[in-house]
Chains A and B, each alone.
Chain A
C-alpha cells in the first residue's frame, strides 16, 4: 500500500470511528447483504431521488467501474444522519450528472426495476463538490 493511500485510510478510519461515536445512527435493517470490501464507481445521470425516512435513496443510469453498466439503485442512511454529514435535500436532483461510489450487493440480484443495488459510500456532485468518501475505498453505512 502506498504511504499516501495508507494515510488516507488511517484518516478515514479514524473519522468513521469518531462519526460512529458522535453522530446519531439509524437502522432499518442489516447491511450484511453488501460487500463492504468492494467499491463500485458509477458515472451517470440521476433518474430518481427519494429523500425520506427511514432511508434516503436515489437511482442513476450510467457506466460502472467494477460492476455492470445500466441502472443502479443506491441505498443510503436516514436523511437526519445525512444532514449531519453535509447533505441537503437539494444535494442531488434528477438530471444531475454525478459520480457515485457504492458497496455492491454481495450476491448480485436484479431489483424489481431491473437495477443493480449498492450502498452509498460517497458522491462527486454535479458542481464538482464531494460528499462522503470518493477515493474508491470505504465502507458504506445505512445507520
Chain B
C-alpha cells in the first residue's frame, strides 16, 4: 500500500518536472524540436505569414473571394474539356479511342473518380458542386465542395518547388501572376496515377496547364481559358474556355469518399474497366 503511494508521488513529481521543462522552452525552441515534421521551403515565407501578406504589391485586377458554380446552362456535357480535342498520339490516342467507344456503347470506362481517386485538374474545376474561393494578396485558396478537394494558387512571386523535392499532387503546384485584367495561372507537378481528363484520357508528368482567368458581367461570371499541353499525349495546345457563376447565396459542405461508399453505389462497382491497379 505504502509502495503504491510512493510510486504515485514519484510519477506526479516527474510529470511536473517534464511540464515545467517544456514550459521553459521558447516557442522557437519547441518549433526547432518539431522541425523534422514540418514541411520546409527555405527562403520563402508561408503564404499566410503576416510579413508576406503585408508586403507592398500592385492591387489585383479582381477578387475571386466567393462561391462559384460551373455554368452548365448550355448542356451538362460542358463539364468535359472536349470536343474539340487535339490530335492525340501514341498510347493516349488508343486510350482516347477506347473511351469514345465506351461512351458510344454506354459503357463505363476508367471511372477513377467514382472509385474515390481525386478528380485533379482540370476535372475538379467542373465537378458540378460549388467551389469556395478565398483570395488573399499572396494566395488564392479553392476548396471544391466535391470531396473538399483543396487547391492553392500562389501569388507571392515564389518559384516552383525543386523538381527533386516536390511531391506531385492531383491539383499540382499553381503559381499565378497578373497581366492587365487577367490572372494567369501556370500549373505543373501533377500526379498521373489514375488521373484522367474527360473519358479516360491519361496525362504524363510533362502535362502542364495554363489558365487565363477574368471576371465578366460586373464580377458575376468567372471565365477561364485553359491551355493544356502534354508532348507525350497530344500535338500542340488543347484549348477550352469555361465559365462559372457567382453563387454567394450558398456555401460548400463536407463531402467524404468513404471506404465503403461504393458498396452502396452499384454504378461504381461496374465502372472499374481500364484503371491501373
Residues of A within 8 A of B (CB): 20-21, 24-34, 48, 50, 52-55, 57, 59, 73, 75, 78, 80, 105-107, 109, 111-113, 116-119, 142-143
Contact = CB atoms under 8 A, between A and B. Distances in A.
B266 A54 contact: no
A21 B73 contact: yes
B236 interface: no
Contacts of B147: 54
Interface in B97-138: 102-103, 106-108, 111, 113-114, 127-130
Contacts of A106: 106-107, 270
Interface string B236-277: 000000000000001001111110010111111111000000
Interface size class of B (residues with CB under 8 A): 35 or more
Q: Which 9 A-B pairs have the closest CB atoms?
A: A117-B266, A29-B114, A57-B264, A33-B270, A53-B255, A33-B267, A25-B128, A32-B108, A75-B265
Contacts of B130: 24
Contact of A109 (B103, B255, B270): B270
Contacts of B114: 28-30
B76 A112 contact: no
Given A53-B254, A53-B256, A28 B265 contact: yes
Nearest to A58: B264
Given A29-B268, A75-B265, A54 B108 contact: no
A116 B269 CA distance: 11
A33 B264 contact: no
